[in-house]
Amino acid sequence: MGIHESAGRLTSGFDNTNATTSAFVRGVTSLLKDIEYRRCESGEDMEDIYRLRYSSYLAAGMIGPNDSRMIRDDLDESPNSYRFGVYFEGNLVSTLRLHYISADFPDAPSVRVFKDALMPRLDAGETFIDPSRFAADAQWASTLRVLPYITLRLAMVARHYFNPSAILTAIKEEHAGFYKRIFESETVVEARTYPGLKMPVILYQSRCPEPLASVEARYPFFRSSPVERRLLFERSQQARLSLTVLPTAKYSRIAA
């Protein structure tokens, strides 16, 4: 769920039916006890995220070197943007950006590329979650092989808070298998060029609430409590402060 080659590279090892076994679910759920999600708004947290994007994109061959050794864009500062760092035992291991898209706030990565397909739906009252800028630390990713699930869980939490029509996914074709299998994604628009990337991306979507309700039934670590949802996405007068939130999937029986 996001325009980034590393997402597909990391998830490729999990595109199989064994990922639905109870042992796998128990393993991911157990690992969440050592995970923290941090909604980053300013300062050093954001600089750490920008540097992680740069190192991940550079390693994936998506960009060339730059003097700042950071990757950021104007969409990071849009009012409908939420930027997260994922921390394991205090270490920044991955990052994801989410946009909540509506007719009032339509600017987002997928809309810029697939505007002709998405704007009529927004004008008709649909809303979307648009994940992008998925990046992971290469060393940690080799150890935490379930990191894509833990990171993309943020989009599943967002879908309960915002109640969108669908979660969007803009990815390379060869990475679509994971999203189709895990998130039951369907094709919306065929491949197009995305500014700043060396490869075209295809727009997929996972409709809400179905089939994502069945996704949570298979993978209960995607579930969340109302408190976690509010802490991650509610904006307040302290919106410029970074906020750390612990996952609540282990309380899934009361969090659905």
Length of the chain: 256
Give the chain's domain count.
1
Q: How confident is the model at residue 245 (pLDDT cuts 50, 70, 90)?
A: confident
Please give the pLDDT value at position 14: 44
CB 216 within 8 A of CB 232: no
Mean pLDDT of 14-29: 69
pLDDT tens sequence across 150-180: 999 999 999 999 999 999 999 888 889 999 9
Q: What's the domain range around 250?
A: 5-255
Mean pLDDT is highest, among 62-66, 115-119, 182-186, 198-202, for: 115-119
Is the pLDDT reported for residue 108 higher than 80? yes
Read off the CATH number of the domain in which 80 is found.
3.40.630.30
pLDDT tens-digit readout, 173-222: 888 999 999 999 999 999 998 877 777 899 999 999 887 888 999 999 99
pLDDT, mean over the chain: 86
Closest CA to 181 of 155, 211, 151: 211
Which residue pairs, CB below 8 angstroms and at least 24 apart, start in 114-123? 114/170, 114/188, 114/189, 114/192, 114/203, 117/188, 117/189, 117/203, 121/165
